[in-house]
Amino acid sequence: MKTHKIYISLMTVMLLTMGWFTSCNKVEHEIDDAIVSINEATANSVQLGQTLKVGFITNRVSSFEFSVVKDGNALMTEQITLEGNEKIISREFDIPNDESWMGDALLQVSYDAGGQRIEKTQALTILESNPEMFLVGGSTGAGWEPTLATPMFLYNGANSKDQFEIFEYITVAGDGFKFLPTNTGWDNAFGAGTTTGTLLQTGDAGNITVTEDAFYRVRMDAEALTYDLLKVTWGIVGDATPGGWDNSTNMTFEGGKGTYIWKITANLSEGSMKFRYNNEWSVGGFPSNLGGSSSNLEWDGGNIAIESAGTYDIELNLSPSGYTAKIEKQ
């Protein structure tokens, strides 16, 4: 009986001793140093005018300094104060739409540790912004909710970052439309100016309206504060089509607000074709014909080959997500 008691006592001592060593090991692995690092998952590039989200990993610091540095100069500096025992945090910083910020830069954290000033950096490339513009309004498919606004395209990207266009079915009913520089709210919206074709970027600017339900080419110039509405009809053209290369064969628009499909069933010959609007090769100095790959049509793109004669169902989709076509032989 005594032997059992001694054995149990020894086991108890061993277990307690092991627990003590285990707890000692845990203490030995804790980090006592003050540390601030930029999380490696932080993006290494950002566009002008966008928000940069930066992750930080900290230990035993109550505050630190964050900067964006370019060519040895701080473009921005912010003191970040931690709350409680925060160790993994993130912060968002607005990058201004200022071309002087473009290029190679550094994300930098600075903090005090062990009587020294510590600095750590991570590379960042600041890129030219891709300008945006959106169409919103009850006379369009988007309605009046900014988050559902329809994105527009740059139509003169080689020379301007302020000229946008979209093809849209617009109705008289619905109280018109406006242009938005973002799809997050109504800040800096563009509305009707004092004369037709002009814009105002003020809170009290009126809605832009049309006098006829139709499919329109909508253009706006954010710098010149102008807009243009052109009613358009689309057709097919080329030596494979009934009208040859001189006359478009009209397609039919199918749908209403929020739809972008033009269709035709036509007898085609072996040859080539393209799509164009208003029976013109160019309008206002810009191409008005689409060609190239049917999965990614481009302005003034290459001819689309028709391999054999026959009756074809043809569909042109002018969706804001990209222009595409279906050309299927019956």
For 200-241, write each residue's pLDDT tens digit: 999 889 999 999 999 999 999 999 999 999 999 999 999 999
Locate 145 and state its tokens: 């909710």
Q: Are residues 208 and 144 in the same domain?
A: yes
Chain position carrying tokens 């006359």: 247
Q: Are residues 117 and 43 in the same domain?
A: yes
5 assigned to some structural domain:
no
122-137 as b/e, with b when 16 or more CB fall inside 10 Å? eebebeebebebbbbb
Locate 314 and state its tokens: 């043809």
Residues forming a β-bridge with 296: 293
105 assigned to some structural domain:
yes
Number of domains in the chain: 3
Locate 147 and state its tokens: 């988050």
142 assigned to some structural domain:
yes
Write the DSSP string, 174-191. T--BEEES-SS-STT-BE
Other beta carbons within 10 Å of 167:
20
Q: Are residues 176 and 225 in the same domain?
A: yes
Are 225 and 275 contacting, i.e. CB atoms less than 8 angstroms apart? Answer: no
24 assigned to some structural domain:
no
The span from the CA of 111 to the CA of 188, in Å, is 39
Mean pLDDT of all residues belonging to the chain:
90
Q: Are residues 238 and 325 in the same domain?
A: yes
Determine the pLDDT at residue 9: 47
CATH of the domain at 45: 2.60.40.1930
Closest CA to 54 of 4, 124, 110: 124
Closest CA to 197 of 218, 168, 180, 213: 218
For the chain, how far is it from start to end, CA to CA, in angstroms?
A: 98
Are 286 and 298 contacting, i.e. CB atoms less than 8 angstroms apart? Answer: no
The DSSP H or E segment spanning 115 is: none
pLDDT tens digit string along 104-132? 999 999 999 989 999 999 999 998 877 89
Locate 137 and state its tokens: 């309004």
Q: Are residues 215 and 253 in the same domain?
A: no
**Parallel, antiparallel or unpaired: strands 116-127 and 45-47:** parallel
184 assigned to some structural domain:
yes
The span from the CA of 172 to the CA of 137, in Å, is 11
The span from the CA of 112 to the CA of 146, in Å, is 45
- Count Cβ atoms within 10 A of the Cβ of residue 35 and give its class: 0-12 exposed, 13-18 middle, 19 or more buried: middle
Locate 305 and state its tokens: 């080959």
Determine the pLDDT at residue 31: 65
Locate 165 and state its tokens: 């266009």
Q: Are residues 157 and 241 in the same domain?
A: no
The span from the CA of 31 to the CA of 17, in Å, is 24
How far CA 313 is from CA of 165, 245, 257, 316, 318, in Å, comes to 28, 20, 23, 10, 17
Q: Are residues 56 and 102 in the same domain?
A: yes
Q: What are phi and psi of 4, to 5 degrees?
A: -60, -40
The torsion of the CA quartet 68, 72, 74, 75, rounded to 10 degrees, works out to -70
Alpha-carbon Rg for the chain in angstroms? 32
Longest CA span, the chain = 114
Amino acid at 93: F
pTM above threshold 0.85: no
Locate 50 and state its tokens: 């966008």
- List, run by run, the mean pLDDT of 10-residue segments along the chain (330 residues): 43 44 46 88 90 94 96 96 89 91 96 94 90 96 97 88 95 98 93 97 94 98 96 98 98 95 98 98 96 97 98 98 97
3 assigned to some structural domain:
no
27 assigned to some structural domain:
no
* Torsional sign, CA 172, 176, 181, 186: negative
User: Domain range spanning residue 112?
Assistant: 35-127
Please identify, among 127, 159, 187, the residue that sits at the C-terminal boundary of a domain. 127
15 assigned to some structural domain:
no
